[in-house]
A = this chain, B = another copy of it.
Amino acid sequence: MQISPCPPLIEGGWENLKALFGVVLKEEMMEKINHTIADIKLLDEKSMAEARIRQDGLTKPQGSLGQLESLSIQIAGIKANPRPRITHKVIFTLAGDHGVTQEGVSAYPSEVTPQMVGNFLRGGAGISVLARHVGARVVVADLGVASVLEQHPDLKNKKVAMGTQNMVRGPAMSREEAIRSIEAGIDLVEEELGKGIDVLGTGDMGIGNTTASSAITSSITGTDVASVTGKGTGLKDEDVDRKVKTIQKALGVNRPNPKDAIDVLSKVGGFEIGGIAGVILAGARYSIPVVIDGFISGAAALIATVLSPLVKSYLIASHQSAEQGHKIILKFLGLKPLLNLDLRLGEGTGAALGISLVEASVKILDEMATFAEAGVSEKN
């Protein structure tokens, strides 16, 4: 058999075809993210107005439960229900490794990431204890741990790659990997919808991920690196200097475009951070209040809100982290934290405590008696 020569269109057109294929791939891959974003609604004003009326009729001076009152009204708007209830509480704790740890930016070795995943699965970690305390279930997922994790019925395998590349030498990941990490986060939420999610919390595990989060925060908020870089898990002062210089170098090498969240994520992000951004987007898309944890979840929230500013109204800041860049994130997002306990563990520990306050706020709205019901006299 004689092989016929390639027709002219294909011959000499490989580069065109690859480029075309690349665009199609990119569009297809962004499809899930774009659909998710397109389905995010404004909060329901009618439910919020009804919730406000009910709050003002409850047996207490108006406004005397402060942030618990405004929180309950936000939840009413998110759920389009003037008297929402919370039964199913879910914390998504996503793990990934960071190539930038080669630069000595963390007080702990990378092997701690998979070890801590094991600790989550055995119920011995901080998030395990606090999730039990508040009655939440924890979904643990591998988004990009740099080792092969043993299979476990409670571990979701969403591995995009074996850790990111070292961001001082080039992008932490490809644009496609960045998209896949966000989509994996969306998938995680969608896979849990059947079991019920009335409120969700975000959490992270990843040695080196405060470095990635500082880089993201500096890029998106336009703040200088030193102001958003802290001690992470416990660096010494001189090591923080090196961390700052590493991030400055990475931003110089990669020049992420702050208007393009996928670009920022791919250049200086992490797989678990992309995953958390996906969890946040999906939370908003499915009308679920999103309780964000500390600095890493905050960086993910920056990614998510650049993709869709509507997401902001679905966010609840559980706490103000001890990590200094977090304050800048919360200010940028216009969020007031519920707690300020100098936490800096991550994993979703702050989110767990925040979820309990969210639940308290809707119970107040739902269960308290009104002045009329209780026969209590109103204000003079």
Pick from A115, A119, A132 the residue with the most CB of B within 10 Å: A119
Q: Smallest CB-CB separation from A341: which chain B residue?
A: B67
Q: In the docked arrangement, what's the CA distance between A61 and B344, Å?
A: 9
- The answer on a CB contact under 8 Å between A60 and B126 is yes
Pick from A340, A341, A374 the residue with the most CB of B within 10 Å: A341
From the candidates B67, B107, B360, name the one contacting A133 in the complex (CB within 8 A).
B360
Asked if A234 lies at the interface with its beta carbon under 8 angstroms from chain B, I say yes
Q: Smallest CB-CB separation from A365: which chain B residue?
A: B129
| A380 / chain B contacts, CB cutoff of 8 Å | 106-109
> With A345-B65, A377-B112 in contact, do A357 and B368 touch (Cβ < 8 Å)?
no
Asked if A376 lies at the interface with its beta carbon under 8 angstroms from chain B, I say yes
| A68 / chain B contacts, CB cutoff of 8 Å | 341, 343
- The answer on a CB contact under 8 Å between B364 and A357 is no
Asked if A12 lies at the interface with its beta carbon under 8 angstroms from chain B, I say no
> With A125-B368, A133-B360 in contact, do A65 and B349 touch (Cβ < 8 Å)?
yes
Q: In the docked arrangement, what's the CA distance between A132 and B368, Å?
A: 12
CB distance from A249 to the nearest CB of B (A): 21
| A375 / chain B contacts, CB cutoff of 8 Å | 115, 118
Q: In the docked arrangement, what's the CA distance between A106 and B342, Å?
A: 37
Interface residues of A (CB under 8 A from B): 58-68, 106-109, 111-112, 115-116, 118-119, 122, 124-126, 128-130, 132-133, 233-234, 322, 338-345, 349, 353, 356-357, 359-360, 363-364, 367-369, 373-380
Closest 9 CB pairs of A and B: A124-B369, A66-B342, A61-B233, A67-B341, A64-B345, A115-B376, A119-B374, A129-B367, A61-B234
